[in-house]
Amino acid sequence: MCGIVGYVGQRRATPVLLEGLRRLEYRGYDSAGIALAGSPVQVHRSVGRVADLRGVVPEGLTPKTGIAHTRWATHGGVTLENAHPHVAGGGKLALVHNGIIENASVLRASLRAEGVVFESETDTEVLAHLIAKCLEGEGDPLAAVTAALQLVRGTWGIAVIFSALPDTIIAARNGSPLVLGLGEGETFLASDPHALVPYTRRVVYLQDGDVARIQSSGIETTTLDGAPRSRVVETLEAEWAEAEKGDYPNFMLKEIHEQPAALRRCLSGRVVVQEGRANLGGLELSSRELNAFRRVGLIGCGTAHYACRVGAMAIEQLARVPATAEVASEFRHRNPVIDPKSLYFAVSQSGETADTLGALKEVQIKGGHVMGVVNVVGSSIARQCGNGVYIHSGPEMAVASTKAFSNMIASLYLFTLQLARARTLAPYEGRDFAQGLMDVPDLVEGFLAKKLDVARVVEWLSECRSVLFMGRGLSEAVAAEGALKLMELTYIPCLAYASGEMKHGPIALLEEGSVVIVVAPDDEVRDKTLSNLQECRARGARVVLIHTEGDPIAEEADFAIAVPKTSRWFTPFLTVLPLQLLAYETALAMGRDIDRPRNLAKSVTVE
């Protein structure tokens, strides 16, 4: 989603800002721009990629202070006028903004009545003019920003430069992340630490309600009421340095192949196989407390939600605690009953997904107990929860989530083991589960090491009007994840159904040549899925089957892909791999943008 970069220091700001924007490209955007200190402030914007912006920014610009933005359209279409930064006060200030100003239309009307002329349709321009108005009254830029923010409702991560203050950026946060990077005689600002990695590891995460004065000599943070607020300087984790493509053609392929290493990192130090138990220190829960929970609720969006569905099945069946997986955007708005004796998990790769954050706050407001299962350390969800589990996938840059899915399941399985052993699971059962989990990275590595030739399936899929995915039990969630991957990367409509539901509707879609992707590892529901597979073939569909190595079920398919044998709980780690690769290869063959599919953003920070 939208990205912010800012710089104030001794270097020329433009190259730092453009490189920062390039590093945030993975988040998804449709226009970009920079503003540089001066009188008036100067702004350069373009629709399209950061490379297009480079083309319109003049060479050799000397200002040493500036802000920059990549915009993912929400209020208003993808136009040059709507691109940030927005200027107000006749060039006295320029503003970049992530988030949404909810009362923008009312404020726009009253500013218009006072004679303000708007150039864009954006809520951000409203805030820019509001700050300019406050500046007329207050005189001081920081006071003007805080006064304007008192008048708006909504979410923001903002950075503002003023013609009167060439060595200063004013930033503020409420619901949209901002992180400051501290260098020697220079200070950086970004919506995502990835933009800071080349310059510094010393960072300060702004919190909701913070306002910061950012100068080359350092930073000062206050509340919106002007009260001083000290913030700790943290060190950016080494994992952020991994976030370059290396020898891979794109991030998605790199991230698929990183799964064994990412899984090892997630499991490392958290499993005691001999005792058949796991220990997630970040939860800070004793066995007594684990025993007291009556239910577990897992909340997430998209891929995270599918990982939650796998996790919920494991928790319920192994720990014998009722568990549900919920779509965060539904959960937060349905006025859920929160049982204080339940434990909730907010599951998110980015840790910034607005719906998941909203849902967890709803749990907290109602007195519930919620923890994070998050990848990005220090992200909003991780901070809001306080306690939780980091999944340690390392930076995931491709919009299509892959390694985070595996690590979310691994993390939820670690919790399952900890919970189940504290309740009903016998040591020998715990040992089997722990050993099975520890074996997963090698199995994943073994599968990924072999070349998967799916050219024939790619040809079928590229010509499909729609694709059906099906599976049962754990494989139903995997099928849903496979459908999401293929759909978001190729734009082919994909439906995922529980195999048993096919005959209640979706089977009507099938005709000669339709493609059905069936996930049927050798588990206790395999035979049931086999019947559904046969029903599809009988209606002329071509069946692509993901199955366990050596299983004769392969003969029932038009195209069969074998994955290594493992016990049922660990099949999702393996059956998802061919689905990720099929989506990848098909998108490649169709000439799609692999890392940045259209209309999508990596972290969805709006509702």
Q: Which residues are catalytic?
A: 2, 602
CB of 159 to ligand M6R, least distance (A): 23
**Of 397, 543, 604, 606, the one binding ligand M6R by CB under 6 A:** 604
Residue 141 or 597: the one with the smaller Cβ distance to ligand M6R is 597
**Of 329, 350, 490, 605, the one binding ligand M6R by CB under 6 A:** 350
| E strands present in 155-285 | 156-162, 165-174, 179-182, 187-190, 202-205, 210-215, 218-223, 234-235, 271-272, 277-278
CB of 94 to ligand M6R, least distance (A): 30
**Of 14, 163, 348, 575, the one binding ligand M6R by CB under 6 A:** 348
Query: What is the DSSP code (8-state) at residue 265?
Result: H
Q: Which stretch binds ligand M6R (CB under 6 A): 51-59, 280-288, 349-357, 451-459?
A: 349-357
Integer Cα distance of 347 and 302 in angstroms: 10
Residue 125 interacts with ligand M6R (CB under 6 A): yes or no: no
Task: Locate all alpha helices (DSSP H) within 211-369, ordered by sequence.
Answer: 251-257, 259-267, 287-292, 302-319, 328-331, 354-365
Report whether 510 contacts 536 (CB < 8 A).
yes
Tokens of residue 302, six digits: 């998209």
Residue 407 interacts with ligand M6R (CB under 6 A): yes or no: no
**Of 93, 290, 400, 519, the one binding ligand M6R by CB under 6 A:** 400
Q: Nearest residue to ligand M6R, using CB?
A: 302
Q: Count other C-beta atoms under 10 Å from residue 237's C-beta.
A: 16
**Of 33, 302, 471, 506, the one binding ligand M6R by CB under 6 A:** 302
Tokens of residue 59, six digits: 């060479």
**Of 57, 142, 253, 304, the one binding ligand M6R by CB under 6 A:** 304
Q: What is the dihedral of CA 135, 141, 146, 149, to 10 degrees?
A: 60
Q: Which stretch binds ligand M6R (CB under 6 A): 278-286, 290-298, 342-350, 576-584?
A: 342-350
CB of 489 to ligand M6R, least distance (A): 9
Residue 484 interacts with ligand M6R (CB under 6 A): yes or no: yes
Amino acid at 23: R
Residue 170 or 489: the one with the smaller Cβ distance to ligand M6R is 489
Closest of 106, 84, 81 to residue 96, by C-alpha = 84
Residue 370 interacts with ligand M6R (CB under 6 A): yes or no: no
Residues 22 to 41 in contact with ligand M6R, rule: CB under 6 A: none
Integer Cα distance of 96 and 159 in angstroms: 5
Closest of 260, 597, 305, 586 to residue 442, by C-alpha = 260
272 Cα distance to chain centroid:
30
Residue 603 interacts with ligand M6R (CB under 6 A): yes or no: yes
Closest of 387, 373, 382, 4 to residue 193, by C-alpha = 4
- How many residues bind ligand M6R (CB under 6 A)? The answer is 17
**Strand pairing class (467-471; 494-498):** parallel
Residue 50 or 308: the one with the smaller Cβ distance to ligand M6R is 308
**Of 65, 303, 329, 418, the one binding ligand M6R by CB under 6 A:** 303
Q: What is the largest CA-CA distance in the chain?
A: 79
- Write the interaction track for ligand M6R spanning residues 253-292; mark x where CB under 6 A is met and - where it is not: ----------------------------------------
Residue 191 interacts with ligand M6R (CB under 6 A): yes or no: no
**Of 488, 523, 551, 585, the one binding ligand M6R by CB under 6 A:** 488
Instruction: Identify the H or E element spanning 324.
Output: strand 323-327
Integer Cα distance of 408 and 414 in angstroms: 10
- Write the interaction track for ligand M6R spanning residues 434-473; mark x where CB under 6 A is met and - where it is not: ----------------------------------------
Report whether 142 contacts 154 (CB < 8 A).
no
**Of 262, 338, 363, 399, the one binding ligand M6R by CB under 6 A:** 399
Reported residue count of the chain is 607
Residue 356 interacts with ligand M6R (CB under 6 A): yes or no: yes
**Of 353, 393, 532, 566, the one binding ligand M6R by CB under 6 A:** 353
Residue 301 interacts with ligand M6R (CB under 6 A): yes or no: yes
Integer Cα distance of 558 and 542 in angstroms: 6
Residue 395 or 430: the one with the smaller Cβ distance to ligand M6R is 395
- Give the three-state DSSP class for 519: strand
Which residues sit at the interface with ligand M6R, rule CB under 6 A? 301-304, 348-350, 353, 356, 399-401, 484, 488, 600, 603-604
